[in-house]
Amino acid sequence: MVFDKSKNSKDERDDQINPARRKFFGAVAAGAAGGVVAAAMPSVARANDQTAANAVPLDTVPGSPATIGPPSAVLRLDEIGPVPADEQIYVGKTGSDFMVDVIDTLDLDYCAVLPGSTFRALQESLINYGNNKKPELITCTNEDIAASLAHGYAKVANKPMMALVHGVVGLQHASMGIYNAWCDRAPMIVVVGNTLDEAGRAPAGAEWDHSAQDNAAIVRDYTKWDDQPTSLEAFAMSMVRAKTISTTIPCAPTVIVADNEMGEHELPGPEPYIPSLTVDSTPVGDPASLAAAAKMLVSAERLVILADRLVRTQDGMDTLVALAETLGAPVIDLASRLNMPTRHPLNLSWAGEDLLTKADVVLVLEPVNLFGALHKYRDWPDRTYLQVVKPGTKLISIGTQNLLTHANFQDSGRYQPVDLAITGDGETSLPLLLEAVKQAGPKDASARAAMLKAASDKMHEKLRQNATYGWDASPISVPRICAELGYLIKDEDWALITPQDFQSFWPSKLWNFTKAYQYKGNQGGFGVGYEPGASIGAAMAHRDAGKRLSVGIIGDGSLMMNPGALWTAAHHKIPLLWVVHNNRAWHQERMHVQRMADRHSRGITRTTIGTTMTDPNIDFAKLADSMGVWSAGPITDPSALKPALQQALDMVRQGQPALVDVVAQGR
């Protein structure tokens, strides 16, 4: 039978329930607490699902209170007679099957999920109707992991995946991961379960706490668009729109609140229309502005290029290199993405301050925090800052930052005036800019390039020299961890799948990054806990792209926020290496507390309180082992590091996750 949803009142609906079933409800209600009544609702199964016939009456389930359970099978037969064969047994296509048809059109390979009753019909359809393919469910142990997994995946795959989360509570967990993705302009489609019509909720119990009039309000300040369709046709339209909006640059998460009621029942009539997906073009800088920029660039004497959230694809990196070479300009990679090959002689990221001080023109590509990039700042109570570039330096920016902002969260940074601000996607505008530069007649760049190469050689020599200090120390030095790991993978097709901020960017300082996919930046919103999920998502995309070797260095604090990701990696057999940078602290914050204690001239030896993870020390190898991840450690002797890394990498090459716990220096 099919509920007539047009019958809105409780009474009208009750009339639809056959009399025998009403009797059943009556019998149960006699001694029942509401929550159990909900659980005791007759099984609803598709025709091809045999399990309904074998359903165990609740009163035989251990732990269910006998006094309030439903009647036994015998009693039930006595009381209400045989249940009509057609009762709630759906043989046709359900609403949630149709939802899967819609999702099918969106080319989504994966859906990160942590189960919740508010989307139980959709989950069942994804598994049985959609056969758990495209999207394949990736089981997560916290919705924060689900969202960050989708975030990490999107940056490497350059396409979104779906995250399916429980109404209210699931979305609240996911919100941290969604915020990071928002700040990082990464696409994902978040589908949230809900039961909007209160008549559709079980009379008592969790469905009330997990339903909301406006679920998406929880994350609206940091998503690009949301909708709560109330019909299947509207669901189709909204899902397709959610993908279009999420993936149109600048990208960001979108949210669809999917009503469970819509999914549970058979399709009431003919299949609703599913619009085909429109792929929007990318906004680029206007020709006049690009020509004006080109003129300024070719006439600059000491041009510097800053690149931040710029490169998505290899074409983007190659064009940036071509532009820098054409102009003989140094590039400072601000590292929200890997923009410039780390050993290119024009990559002077670690000598940037000197170059900026002398610059007459600065070209900034996809700035994230431009003011921060152009100022020195002192973290003292006086908050002093100083502009690095000299007065009169001309600033040109190309980016999409102002195309997507919301009011509440302050992720846009301090306002930085710019002389020529060009709105348009950096990567897509680059070939046009390069063409305009060639038209404008660039000067011979060879002398400047030779001078910059000498500076780059000096910079690298100094970085490598700095890495030798503390080489044999225990706890093990961070540059040593990075150097050893980089050396073991250098001849393979590898990618770094974790941020580098807390490793002081030693991988970028030491390793030979040449491909855009080899590094995809950090959390976006600096929300710690991103790394475990995001590194799995990234590793999935690298695996799918052709068995790239995925390696990551992860903080103990970050891993402890979402240790359940270990299980997800083991369960789905995701090949990746996690090296735990185990400084037994939230070291970043410990330094902050130390700064305060020093300045307040008291208790300078007490800053371990609330900032360190000792007593007991956490055994990450055991933790990983308990969830099925191959592991080694704790490694305290630096000479034991290489063999452990070698063994772990072998496991990863065989297609499984591995973890090496390294007791390490703070920074």
Partner 1 sequence: MLKIIFVTVFIAAPFTAMAQTSPENNAQPSGDAGHGKILFISDGCSECHGTVGQGGVGPHLAPKPLPAEAIASYIRHPAGVMPPYAASVVSDADVADIASYLRSVPAQPKLGSLPELND
Ligand X SMILES: Cc1ncc(C[n+]2csc(CCOP(=O)(O)OP(=O)(O)O)c2C)c(N)n1
Q: Does residue 547 interact with ligand HEC by CB under 6 A?
A: no
Q: Does residue 532 interact with Mg ion by CB under 5 A?
A: no
Please report how close the Cβ of residue 567 comes to ligand X at its closest, in angstroms.
Answer: 19
Q: Does residue 583 interact with Mg ion by CB under 5 A?
A: yes
Q: Does residue 597 interact with ligand HEC by CB under 6 A?
A: no
Q: Does residue 292 interact with partner 1 by CB under 8 A?
A: no
Q: Does residue 595 interact with ligand HEC by CB under 6 A?
A: yes
Kind plus residue range of the DSSP H or E element containing 194: strand 188-194
180 and 524 in contact (C-beta within 8 Å)? Answer: yes
Kind plus residue range of the DSSP H or E element containing 156: helix 143-157
Q: Does residue 529 interact with Mg ion by CB under 5 A?
A: no
Nearer to Mg ion, 83 or 613 (CB): 613
Q: Which does 555 bind (CB under 5 to 8 A by kind): ligand X, ligand HEC, partner 1, none?
A: ligand X
Closest listed residue to residue 658, CA positions, set 505, 535, 481? 535
Residue that is written with structure tokens 């993405």 in the block: 337
- 339 φ, ψ to 5°? -105, -35
Tokens representing residue 393 in the block: 């330096």
Tokens representing residue 176 in the block: 């941290």
Tokens representing residue 431 in the block: 């070939």
Starting at the edge strand that comes first in sequence, how are the strands of the sheet with 577-582 ordered?
494-496, 549-555, 577-582, 658-663, 630-635
- 360 φ, ψ to 5°? -100, -25
Q: Which does 505 bind (CB under 5 to 8 A by kind): ligand X, ligand HEC, partner 1, none?
A: partner 1
Q: Does residue 124 interact with Mg ion by CB under 5 A?
A: no
Spatial separation of the C-alpha atoms in residues 573 and 576, rounded to whole Å: 9
Please report how close the Cβ of residue 594 comes to ligand HEC at its closest, in angstroms.
Answer: 5
Using the rule CB under 6 A, give the single segment among 145-153, 443-451, 565-573, 588-596 that binds ligand HEC: 588-596
Q: Does residue 591 interact with ligand HEC by CB under 6 A?
A: yes
Q: Does residue 324 interact with partner 1 by CB under 8 A?
A: no
368 and 334 in contact (C-beta within 8 Å)? Answer: yes
Q: Which does 527 bind (CB under 5 to 8 A by kind): partner 1, Mg ion, ligand X, none?
A: ligand X
Residue that is written with structure tokens 């431009």 in the block: 370
Spatial separation of the C-alpha atoms in residues 341 and 333, rounded to whole Å: 9
Binding mask 477-506 for partner 1 (x = CB under 8 A): xx-x--xx-xx--x----------x--xx-
Please report how close the Cβ of residue 271 comes to partner 1 at its closest, in angstroms.
Answer: 50
| CA dihedral over 4, 10, 11, 15, signed as positive or negative | positive
Nearer to ligand X, 140 or 395 (CB): 140
SS3 call for 254: strand
Please report how close the Cβ of residue 409 comes to partner 1 at its closest, in angstroms.
Answer: 15
Nearer to ligand X, 307 or 478 (CB): 478
DSSP 548-593: -EEEEEEEHHHHHHSTTHHHHHHHTT---EEEEEE-SB-HHHHHHH
Q: Does residue 639 interact with partner 1 by CB under 8 A?
A: no
Please report how close the Cβ of residue 465 comes to ligand HEC at its closest, in angstroms.
Answer: 15
* Binding residues for ligand HEC (CB under 6 A): 591, 594-595
Which residues make up the interface to partner 1 (CB under 8 A)? 332-335, 349-353, 372-373, 375-380, 384-386, 388, 462, 464-473, 475, 477-478, 480, 483-484, 486-487, 490, 501, 504-505, 510, 512, 522, 526, 587-588, 590-592, 594-599, 601-602, 604-605, 607, 665-667
